[in-house]
Structures are given as C-alpha cells and as structure tokens.
Structure 1
Amino acid sequence: MKALSFALLMGLASAAWAEGPVTVPFDGSFDDATFAVESAIVGEGLVIDYVSHVGEMLNRTGADVGSDAQIFAAADVFLFCSAVLSREMMEADPMNIMHCPYGIFVAEREGEVMIGYRPYPEGPMKKVEGLLAKIVAEAADQ
C-alpha cells in the first residue's frame, strides 16, 4: 500500500511540474538582472527573506562530486512571501504552505541571462503566479 501511495504521489508531482519553468530573457548582465529583480520585489512592498546563490554552490562543489560541467555561469534564487497572498492562499487550503516561500530565479547560461519562476497549480495559487509574472515582467523591462 505504501508503494502504491508513493507511486501515485510521484505521478501527481511529475504532472504538476511537467510544464517546466516560466522564463523571460534579460537584455543585460547577470548583475543587472539580479538588481532589477531585487528592485521589483521590494517595489511591490515585499521583503526578500533569502537569496540562494545556487550557481556559486554548483561551481564550488562540482569537483567534490566528480563533475567538471558548468551548469550556470551564475544563478541566484530570490525567496520571499506576501503576507496578504500567503494568508489568502492558506485560508483557501492550508496545504498551500508547500508553495511558500515564493521564488524568482536569475540565471546566466551560455552567455544568456534569464529570469524565471515555477508555475503554480490551478486554483488559488494562480494569484501568486500572477504576482510573480508581474515582478518578472517589471524586472525584464528595466
């Protein structure tokens, strides 16, 4: 029974992320893109809880795990929440906690800089996705 439950759960998880991330190209440097994203988040009256320097971690640990592949020249993930939207989403379904905090990434790969986020499931979380789309569009236009 546990194996069946796990298989079902993995199938649902795979379906939820099957469409992949939403990405927007950024016409500028990685540093300019991270500044634009930070400014757009703060401009919405939100507080950035944490910036995960994923690119630095991957580049620093590659040799330790037996790889010389460079996945990103640079990559950061900005993590933040909206008290208003988070409350609304979790009042609709307390299990929406799994989507907190929200994240927007900036990545440079093969000379191209992009900004993006993961899509959310149908229902109340689409309101959060709308906020992420607005922030990314604003950052990409700067």
Structure 2
Amino acid sequence: MKNLLIGMFMGLAASQVGAQEAVTYPFDGSFDDATFAVENAIIGKGLVIDYVSHTGDMLARTAEDVGSDKMLFEGADIFLFCSAQLSREVMEADPMNIAHCPYGIFVAALEGEVLVGHRTYPDGEMQKVQMLLDEIVQEAVGG
C-alpha cells in the first residue's frame, strides 16, 4: 500500500500512474494555495464539498501507533463531493457505478512538490465523471 501511495504522487508532468490508479498534475505554489484552488474550482462548478479528508495529518498523527517513523507527505488532503446530475446519469446506466461515489480530488505535498489529481475511472459512462474531475483539476492548477 505504501508503495502505491508513493508511486501515485510521483512525477512532474501530468501522467497516468498505472492502469486504474490516478492522474496527477503539478501545482506551481504552496500546498495551502493548491487546496484553496481546488476548493474554489469545485465550488465554481456548482458542486458542494461533502467532506475534506486530512489524510496527511492522519498519517502523521498515527505513524508511531503503527510502528513507523516515516513521513509520507508534507500535506495531503482529499476533497470529496458528488454531482447529483452526473451521478444520476452514470448510475442510471449502471446502478453499480455507486461504487465510485463520492468523487475525490486530492492535493499532496511530497518531497517539495505539490500535486493535484484524481483517480481514474473505468471505460464507459464513468469517463464522464473522469472528464469532470480533470476539468476541475486543470482549472485548479491553471491549465
């Protein structure tokens, strides 16, 4: 799992990290600026952020409890949200697309770099969700 997380956040250019994992883009600025940009890009699409998972804080706080002394991220947050219209559309095509909801966009600071990204989704109707996430991420990173 640790190698998957590290692999997911590496790279300077927009890239797909293995099949069905993540798309990442570099952010030219601080972690805090990136989280602000992502939040604004999501809200700018008329979407409501349901929850922000402060994953980096949790991993730092629990490292000793699980027998680790390795710092994984300088910061890592995941913004979780849904689109009622798009979710209905993809779930009407296949109700099991519920497995992909809510949608998430992450911001991670790792080894002095800030990355913004999202997971990839299966072919078919879920590509509409992936396109929405990519639009939001590209807006946030200024692409």
TM-score normalised by length of structure 2: 0.86
The offset of 1:19, in angstroms, is: 4.4
Q: Where does 1:1-142 land on structure 2 (aligned, <5 Å)?
A: 18-141=19-142
Give the 3-state SS of the residue equivalent to 1:48 in structure 2.
Answer: strand
Dislocated runs of 4+, deviation >4 Å = none
Higher helix share: 1
Distance (Å, rounded) in 2 between the aligned partners of 1:100 and 1:40: 19
The CA deviation string for residues 100-129 of structure 1, in whole angstroms up to 9 with x for no partner, is 000000000000000000000000000000
Identity, in percent, stands at 69
Q: How many pairs are equivalent?
A: 126
Distance 1:19 1:82, change over 3 A: closer
Unaligned runs of 5+ in 1: 1-16
Give the 3-state SS of the residue equivalent to 2:117 in structure 1.
Answer: strand
Unaligned runs of 5+ in 2: 1-17
Distance (Å, rounded) in 1 between the aligned partners of 2:127 and 2:77: 23
Amino acid at match of 1:39: N
Amino acid at match of 1:58: L
- The structure whose Rg is larger is 1
Distance (Å, rounded) in 2 between the aligned partners of 1:63 and 1:119: 32
RMSD: 1.1
